[in-house]
Each structure stands twice: as structure tokens, then as C-alpha cells.
Amino acid sequence: MKYTAPTKQGYFGKYGGKFVPEILIPALEELEIAYEESLNDPIFQKEYHDLLEEYVGRPTKLTFANRLTDHYGRGKIYFKREDLCHTGAHKINNAIGQLLLARNMGKTRIIAETGAGQHGVATATACAKFGFECVIYMGAEDMERQKLNVDRMKLLGAEVRSVTSGSQTLKDATNEAIRDWVTNVENTFYIIGSVVGPHPYPLMTRNFHTVIGEETKEQLRHAEGRLPDYLVACVGGGSNAIGFFYPFIDDEDVKMIGIEAAGLGADTDQTAATLTIGSPGVLHGSLSYLLHDSEGQVQLAHSISAGLDYPGIGPEHSHLHDTKRVHYFGITDQQAMDAVKLTSEMEGIIPAIETAHAMAYLEKLMPLTQKDEVVVVNCSGRGDKDMKTISEWFS
């Protein structure tokens, strides 16, 4: 059966929806209309695709990871190089798409949340390119561990607002961004950085990223003359993963694996492995798996990677988890950091710590593969922003 989610109401199976205050409903309805119009607007589509090509640098390469392939001695490993996108991660595919929508809707002020800072940098970059006022909300802890990206956002002309509530990470930055949006909804567009939030954000953000999977399909047809056997991607909110997976979703023989951050271990309370140990709940506008206690209070997540340090997950991933179309596993801080080192040394690619979670799963996956099988890992971002954390870890 062909995959058609979400429904008109924004449901992927039983997940999704619009759990937001009344004040935001008109804004979401306006956005739904603008987004739908953009799909059939050749001018919008051309402008977006031209920007992806001329400014973001797409298509990004598909690189054969020959030394890692030899290292494991089984199937062939390829990397889809989203780290080569302008600003250093996939996030800009979506930031530019949403910014064009905001402009067409006549909004003058842009806000966004950021964890790793990659979405914040991508949004600040798009705002600089188009001359928009830009406010980025970022947890105080994340500002510390992703300082390079804070400096980049400021240089790009954005105001970075430090969020000191809760765990001082991505969840709390998102709360503050939503509060800003509720207050300034008239002139403000909220560019959400992952496939989370109320409908139509999970749908829209997914579709701005499906270029990743479409290119991969085409590039692999060239390189191998066939479909991949495995796709592997890290999952924070889930935007790089769904953009990578979605074009293959009806190709039943393609196995898909999403990697969550297990932090210190999914059996500890220092984890962000939402699908592994969470249960359905509502956070930030949609119903999806969530880390929360028996009273429904959201738990503080933990991951060494700021971009995966989030107690929720996009609703479509909850659906794909329940239907088993995608399989999800956890990778710990330690395993991810080992993969940062291995990938750097063997492929000359320093991955973001988020991305390294996907790389780390190769340790488990590759011994199970056959020589003629093909594994593609989405290399969602580069690790420059993480050098401080990486140096400290290995010192």
C-alpha cells in the first residue's frame, strides 16, 4: 500500500495534530494555505531550487567510504554528504524553504530555536541573505557547548537569546520560541528546525528535506545501478532522517534505521532515547513519543550532542516506529565519540557529534551485511562546531 501520511488534519497514524493555544490556530491555517500554494507555484519552486543549487551547493555528493568499507570487510558504505551544504549541515534546506514562505506571507520578523546551533546558523544565514530581522532562542547550556555557532549567528546579524529555564537546552529554547510566537504572531514567522511542532510543520519540514533522499537515489543508481539495502541516519527531532528516508518509503526492500541518542544508556535517566523508552504524549504542539514521568511531566533528556538532546521526536517517526517501517536504536555518548574519531581517521571527514551517532551504528550493522550489500549513512553535518567538546573528550 502506498504511503500517504499525513492526513489533512496532520496525523501520521495516531501521531501529530495541532496541540497549540487558540492564538496560533489562525497562524497555522494561514501557513497551511501559503504552503499548499507554494507547491503549485512554479516561481516559488524555481526560486527555492535555484537557491539550493547556487547558494546551498546542491546536489551534495555521495561519497564511497572505501577505508571504512575495508575496515568492516562486509557491505559497501556510502556517505550522503549533507555536511557539504553551506553552513555545514542539512538544516539549511528547510530554513531557506520556510524563509521564502515567510517572505511571501508578508512576515517581517523571523524566530527560531536551536540546539546544536546548526538550525540557528542556517536561519540566521537565510535571514542575512534576504534581509530579515532574526531572533534565535538557545539554551544556556547549548550556548556554552556550541559557542562557535553562537558567534557565527551573531556575526550573521541574528540576536541570540539565552534560555535559562528547565534543562537550558533545546526543549526549553523551543518553549521560549513558542512564547515569542504567541506574543508576536502578527508579524512573526517561526522557522521550526525539525519535523516537530504542530501541523503543517512536520509535513513541510519533511518535504523541504526530501531532496536528500531523492539525490541519494539518483546518485546510487549511477554508482551501483540499484537501490540501497540499508539507510542509516541520526534522529533528534528527525528532519535529516525523514528527508533521507522518505523517497524510499515505498521501496519495501530498502531497510531503514534511525539512531537516537542513548546518552549514558537507554537504561539510565541520562538519555534522549525517546522511541526506545518513551511513550505517547504531547509536547510542542504534536502528539508523539515523549520522555515523561508517571505524572506526565516532561523529563530532562541527556546527550553529549546538543542536536539530539531532546525528550521528544517528530510524529512521523513515532508512526514509522509503530508500523516498523523504520527501526530505531540507541547509541551512547561513548559510542558516538568513538565514531567521531574513527570516521575522522579513516575517511578524512570530521562528522558532527549528532551525525556520529549514525556512523557508530555501523559497528553493529556491518558484521550483519553481505559483501554485495550497500549501506548509505546520511552525513547530516560537519563537526567543526563540536571541536571544543571533542578535544575535551579525548584529552
Partner 1 sequence: MITKQKSRVDACFERRSEDSKIMSLFITAGYPDLESTVDLILGFEKNGADIIELGMPFSDPLADGPTIQYASNVAIANGITMKKIFQMVKEVRKSSQIPIILMGYINPVLRYGIDEFCREAAECGADGLILPDSPPEESSLIADAAKNNNLDMIYLVAPNSTDARMKKVDELSSGFVYCVSVTGVTGARQGEEVARSVERFIGRVNQNVTKNPKLVGFGIKNHDDAFIISKQVDGFIVGSALIDAIRKNYPNNGWMDNVFSFVKELKHG
Ligand X SMILES: Cc1ncc(COP(=O)(O)O)c(C=O)c1O
Which residues make up the interface to partner 1 (CB under 8 A)? 9, 17-23, 25-27, 165-166, 171, 175, 178-179, 182-186, 280-285, 287, 290, 292, 294-298
Of the residues 198, 307, 312, 315, which one makes contact with ligand X according to CB under 6 A:
307
Q: Is 141 assigned a catalytic role?
A: no
Among the listed residues 80, 82, 113, 260, the single catalytic one is 113
Q: Which does 19 bind (CB under 5 to 8 A by kind): partner 1, ligand X, none?
A: partner 1
Based on the shown chain and the rule CB under 6 A, indicate whether residue 240 belongs to the binding site for ligand X: yes
Q: Looking at the chain, which runs of residues are DSSP E strands?
A: 11-12, 15-16, 62-64, 76-81, 109-114, 133-139, 159-163, 188-190, 230-234, 255-263, 279-283, 286-290, 326-332, 374-379
The CA distance from 83 to 90, in Å, is 7
The CA distance from 328 to 274, in Å, is 10
Which one of the spans 34-42, 59-67, 245-253, 347-355 is the region binding ligand X (CB under 6 A)?
Answer: 347-355
Among the listed residues 18, 76, 80, 91, the single catalytic one is 91
Q: Which residues of 209-220 are buried (b: 16+ CB within 10 A; e: fewer)?
A: bbbbbbbbbebb
Other CB atoms within a 10 A radius of the CB of residue 53 amount to 11
For 61: left if phi > 0, alpha if psi spans -120 to 50, otherwise beta; the answer is: beta
Residue closer to partner 1, measured from CB, 8 or 222 = 8
Residue closer to ligand X, measured from CB, 241 or 256 = 241
Q: In one letter, which amino acid is 330?
A: G
Q: Which does 179 bind (CB under 5 to 8 A by kind): ligand X, partner 1, none?
A: partner 1
The CA distance from 265 to 262, in Å, is 5
> Contacts with ligand X in 180-219 (CB under 6 A)?
194
Answer yes or no: are the C-beta atoms of 292 and 284 closer than 8 Å. Answer: no
Q: Looking at 115-213, which runs of residues are DSSP E strands?
A: 133-139, 159-163, 188-190
- Closest distance to partner 1 from the beta carbon of 69 (Å): 44
Based on the shown chain and the rule CB under 6 A, indicate whether residue 116 belongs to the binding site for ligand X: yes
Based on the shown chain and the rule CB under 6 A, indicate whether residue 330 belongs to the binding site for ligand X: no
Which one of the spans 44-52, 147-155, 212-220, 239-247 is the region binding ligand X (CB under 6 A)?
Answer: 239-247
Which one of the spans 66-74, 128-136, 233-241, 287-295 is the region binding ligand X (CB under 6 A)?
Answer: 233-241
Q: Is 186 assigned a catalytic role?
A: no
Among candidate residues 81, 83, 82, 75, the one with its CA nearest the CA of residue 362: 75
Which one of the spans 96-104, 110-118, 210-218, 245-253 is the region binding ligand X (CB under 6 A)?
Answer: 110-118
Q: Which does 330 bind (CB under 5 to 8 A by kind): ligand X, partner 1, none?
A: none
Q: Which does 119 bind (CB under 5 to 8 A by kind): ligand X, partner 1, none?
A: ligand X
The CA distance from 118 to 94, in Å, is 12
Q: In one letter, which amino acid is 305?
A: S
Among the listed residues 167, 239, 303, 380, the single catalytic one is 380
Which one of the spans 34-42, 277-285, 290-298, 352-360 is the region binding ligand X (CB under 6 A)?
Answer: 352-360
Based on the shown chain and the rule CB under 6 A, indicate whether residue 234 belongs to the binding site for ligand X: yes
- Closest distance to partner 1 from the beta carbon of 25 (Å): 6
The CA distance from 194 to 30, in Å, is 20
Of the residues 118, 216, 219, 369, which one makes contact with ligand X according to CB under 6 A:
118
Among candidate residues 90, 22, 14, the one with its CA nearest the CA of residue 52: 90
The CA distance from 249 to 179, in Å, is 35
Of the residues 236, 247, 312, 330, which one makes contact with ligand X according to CB under 6 A:
236
Of the residues 34, 52, 89, 291, which one makes contact with ligand X according to CB under 6 A:
89
Based on the shown chain and the rule CB under 6 A, indicate whether residue 352 belongs to the binding site for ligand X: yes
> Contacts with ligand X in 244-303 (CB under 6 A)?
none
Answer yes or no: are the C-beta atoms of 136 and 170 closer than 8 Å. Answer: no
Residue closer to partner 1, measured from CB, 9 or 370 = 9
Residue closer to partner 1, measured from CB, 29 or 50 = 29
Measure the N-to-C terminal CA separation of the chain; round to a whole number of Å. Answer: 52
As given in the structure block, the three cell numbers for residue 377 are: 549513512
Q: In one letter, which amino acid is 20?
A: V
Q: Is 91 assigned a catalytic role?
A: yes
List contacts with ligand X (CB under 6 A).
Answer: 89, 115-116, 118-119, 194, 234-241, 307-308, 352, 354-355, 380-381
What positions carry a catalytic annotation? 91, 113, 380
